[in-house]
Amino acid sequence: MLALVPRDLEGVDGSAALSSNEELLQRVATGDRSAFAELYDGTAPRVFGLVKRLLRDHAQSEEVTQEIFLEIWQTAARYDPNKGGAMAWMLTMTHRRAVDRVRASQASRDRDVRIGIRDHAAAFDSVVENVEVLIESERVKAAMMRLTELQRQAVQLAYFGGYSHREVSAMLSVPIGTVKTRLRDGMIRLRDELGVGS
């Protein structure tokens, strides 16, 4: 699956070279194909897993994962270890790419639906349903704005972005316990704001 480069990782003594993702990215930035192969082997399952969680379609997930690794190959020189870990950098890129694909697919579906129904008047019930969905969406947006910035970041990444607690922890550079506390407090506040029973 997803073979982009040959995996010739054998060292002079026959052992596989193991390096940190940060070191590997720095080597990839210089055009080191073996570093890229090692980086790919070590991180592809997590990247693919996140993409698959967001896209759900296996074939599209493979395609987007290949695009992400091509982007990593091309932009590795932009990685700044002072701004965070290599995995967080790669997962941020992954999330952005996957969300772009979801949005493009949704836009295409929306365009098809608009074309399909443009000559038909909307039924009364669908208008009411659309209004109710819009009102509920606005309520959720307003409730999200009442969270603290830290709670909002955690909730958006975990519940709307599909990241695990560990991934959110890495992306925000905070302990996993802090992420869980922010999520718990944020969800309690959202429930109260929306008037949802416990």
Q: What was the pLDDT predicted at 190? A: 76
What is the pTM assigned to this prediction? Answer: 0.49
Q: What was the pLDDT predicted at 126? A: 65
- Mean pLDDT (the chain) is 80
In this structure, the number of other CB atoms found within 10 A of the CB of residue 73 comes to 17
Q: What is the CATH number of domain 124-198?
A: 1.10.10.10
Q: What was the pLDDT predicted at 63? A: 94
- Domain boundaries of the chain, sorted by first residue: 1-120, 124-198
In this structure, the number of other CB atoms found within 10 A of the CB of residue 180 comes to 15
Q: In the chain, where does DSSP find H-type helix?
A: 21-28, 33-55, 58-75, 86-117, 124-145, 149-155, 165-172, 176-194
Q: Which residues of 39-57 are buried (b: 16+ CB within 10 A; e: fewer)?
A: bbeebbeebbebbbebbee
Annotation: CATH topology of 1-120: Rna Polymerase Sigma Factor; Chain: A (1.10.1740)
Q: What was the pLDDT predicted at 115? A: 73
Tens-place pLDDT, residues 120-154 = 555 555 666 776 777 777 777 887 788 888 888 88
Measured CA to CA, the distance from residue 132 to residue 137 in angstroms comes to 8
Measured CA to CA, the distance from residue 171 to residue 168 in angstroms comes to 5
Q: What was the pLDDT predicted at 108? A: 75
Q: What was the pLDDT predicted at 120? A: 59
Instruction: Extract the residue ranges of the chain whose pLDDT is less than 70.
Output: 1-18, 116-128, 131, 196-198
Q: What was the pLDDT predicted at 103? A: 87
